[in-house]
Amino acid sequence: MNNYDMESEALKKLSKMAEESGYIKPELYRRYEVKRGLRDLDGKGVLVGLTEIGEVHSYIMDEGEKISVPGRLIYRGIDIRDIVKGFSEDDRFGFEETAYLLLFGNLPDQNAQKEFLQLLSLHERLPEDFTRDVILKAPSKDIMNTLARSVLALYSFDENADDTSMPNVLKQCLKLIACFPSLAVYGYHAFNHYHGDQSLYIHSPRADLSIAENILAMLRPDSSYTKLEAKLLDLALVLHAEHGGGNNSSFVTHVVTSTGTDTYSAIAAAIGALKGPRHGGANIKVVQMFDDMKEKLKNWDDDEEIEHYLTQVLSKNAFDRSGLIYGIGHAVYSISDPRAVILKGYVAQLAQEKGLEDEFNLYAKVENLAPQVIEKFNTMYKTVSANVDFYSGFVYKMLNIPMEMFTPIFAISRIVGWSAHRIEEIANCGKIIRPAYKSVAPRRSYLKMDER
């Protein structure tokens, strides 16, 4: 037996042992009232902290009864719909303004906004030779891996990397917010060149462009984009910037920050959380599901045929056989996800510009039909609606953003929320976050080697 076969057989045997030793009977969670996933049986999150940064509102209590309401997303007390309406009516990009609001608690006036943009522009460009020595020399097939590795590498370029005083942490956060687009885009170009045999393009960010514009300009070979394209990407960044302290990666930021570690380690941990397909990769699944659907459907306008496909998905007989209609349903929202509602109106405009009205209409049909199909399939299921992932993947696809960049763009946006949560954890001088786990293993005696 060669070394490869020996290792394979050993791992097969040991994996089974590890899985069996790691399994805990489900009834034990009920017996000890352990709330798996930190969620109640009705889906309500377990309260583990307080925040002023973001709020997700999806229900009201009336005489002890939980009643679902249209979803609301609130940044620092301001409804996301009002934020979007404000910068849209002024025909401005909104992500930088939103970042200021989330970090500092108030909307910037013109002078504050100008000063903030100047601070960001100081850190848009990566350290000298960083792209060559860190990103291009070890390209990864997963851009989130590249992003995390690059963030950790920036530690070595910071003379005060372990200083957790507020001014230094804020400087580090601003640096990461500013350079995340370059880290992600250059990571993609390295992957595309070394693993896809494509030409290598490295465009420098421009201080006169918004973050959304810079992403498109650095990503595309000719650096061209339309105003609508940039504004829709900017909107997507605004909608993904924050989602309350309870989302997985923001909670990770609080947990890791509470240990007293450096900013780069905390943000790299958050990137690792977002990389998981249960958190940051859902819009990729939506696009893949629709690609499969378009291939299978004979008539995109036939409601009955669409319902049949969706039923097959739920029955685990279509697409990836997971039984999930991706982009439909959310852990918190039920009647509506405000991010999806806002995005949908702008998606229609871009679909018209791109000549993709038929595909947009298919998305709209699935959005309407999927909740009905789910209700028929499982009468005990709660009310569901389209979530932000339902349309965001379609947006990125229309913008010719490669699928490998979908989750990194989420990270480019959410670094703002992570930074705000890191600052909030430090400002409140909290204890190290250390939840309790109950051991349910039976007590045993140690056996000597010749007695086993």
CATH number of the domain bearing residue 392: 1.10.230.10
Q: What pLDDT is recorded for position 62?
A: 65
Helix (H, G, I), strand (E, B) or coil at 69: strand
Within-domain flag for 442: no
User: What percentage of the chain has pLDDT greater than the value 90?
Assistant: 84
Within-domain flag for 14: no
> Does pLDDT of 373 surpass 70?
yes
Same domain? For 387 and 415 the reply is no
pLDDT tens for 264-319 read: 999 999 999 999 988 998 899 999 999 999 999 999 999 999 999 999 999 999 99
CA distance 331 to 73: 14
CA atoms within 13 A of residue 269's CA, in its CB half-sphere: 20
Q: Looking at the chain, how many residues does it have? A: 452
Q: What pLDDT is recorded for position 19?
A: 92
The label of the residue with tokens 């309350």 reads 244
Q: What pLDDT is recorded for position 63?
A: 66
Dihedral of the alpha carbons of 71, 414, 416, 110, in degrees to the nearest 10 = -60
Same domain? For 259 and 287 the reply is no
Catalytic residue among 123, 189, 254, 330: 330
Q: Residue 378's pLDDT band (boundaries 50, 70, 90)? A: confident
Q: How many domains does the chain have?
A: 2
Average of per-residue pLDDT across 219-248: 95
CA distance 170 to 63: 44
Q: What pLDDT is recorded for position 413?
A: 98
CA distance 4 to 397: 41
Average of per-residue pLDDT across 44-55: 91
Q: What pLDDT is recorded for position 190?
A: 96
CA distance 233 to 286: 18
* 54-62 and 65-75 strand pairing: antiparallel
Same domain? For 92 and 205 the reply is yes
Same domain? For 392 and 418 the reply is no
Q: Residue 379's pLDDT band (boundaries 50, 70, 90)? A: low
> Does pLDDT of 337 surpass 80?
yes
CA distance 285 to 320: 9
> Does pLDDT of 45 surpass 90?
no
Q: Residue 340's pLDDT band (boundaries 50, 70, 90)? A: very high
Same domain? For 296 and 255 the reply is no
Within-domain flag for 334: yes
> Does pLDDT of 41 surpass 80?
no
Average of per-residue pLDDT across 339-349: 92
Same domain? For 381 and 407 the reply is no
Q: Is 301 a catalytic residue?
A: no
Within-domain flag for 135: yes
Within-domain flag for 321: yes
pLDDT tens for 118-163 read: 999 999 999 999 999 999 998 999 999 999 999 999 999 999 999 9
> Does pLDDT of 380 surpass 70?
no
pLDDT higher for 282 or 224? 224
pLDDT tens for 381-418 read: 668 999 999 999 999 999 999 999 999 999 999 999 99
* 54-62 and 78-79 strand pairing: unpaired
Rounded to the nearest integer, the mean pLDDT of the chain is: 93
**Token pair for 17:** 């042992």
pLDDT higher for 339 or 44? 339
Q: Is 222 a catalytic residue?
A: no
Average of per-residue pLDDT across 181-195: 96
Q: What pLDDT is recorded for position 408?
A: 97
Same domain? For 289 and 334 the reply is yes
Same domain? For 235 and 356 the reply is no
pLDDT tens for 432-450 read: 999 999 999 999 999 999 9
Same domain? For 318 and 182 the reply is no
Q: Which letter, b or e, does each residue of 322-341 get, where b requires 16 or more Cβ atoms within 10 Å of its Cβ? A: eebbbbbbbbbbbebbbbbb
Please tell me the least confidently modeled range out of 23-27, 43-47, 108-112: 43-47
Within-domain flag for 378: yes
Helices (H) and strands (E) counted in the chain, each on its own, are 18, 3
Within-domain flag for 25: no
Q: Are 40 and 332 in contact (CB under 8 A)?
A: no
Same domain? For 148 and 196 the reply is yes
User: What percentage of the chain has pLDDT greater than the value 70?
Assistant: 98
Domain holding 315, by residue range, is 282-399
Same domain? For 394 and 411 the reply is no
DSSP one-letter string for 390-421 = HHHHHHHHHTT--GGGHHHHHHHHHHHHHHHH
**Token pair for 271:** 């990137």
Within-domain flag for 441: no
Give whole-number Cα distances, 310 to 8, 66, 203, 303, 395, in Å.
39, 29, 43, 10, 22
Q: What separation, in Å, do the N-terminal and C-terminal C-alpha atoms of the chain show?
A: 27
Catalytic residue among 234, 262, 337, 389: 389
Same domain? For 151 and 291 the reply is no
The CATH number for 98's domain is: 1.10.580.10
DSSP one-letter string for 77-97 = TEEHHHHHHHHHHTT---HHH
The label of the residue with tokens 């045993």 reads 444
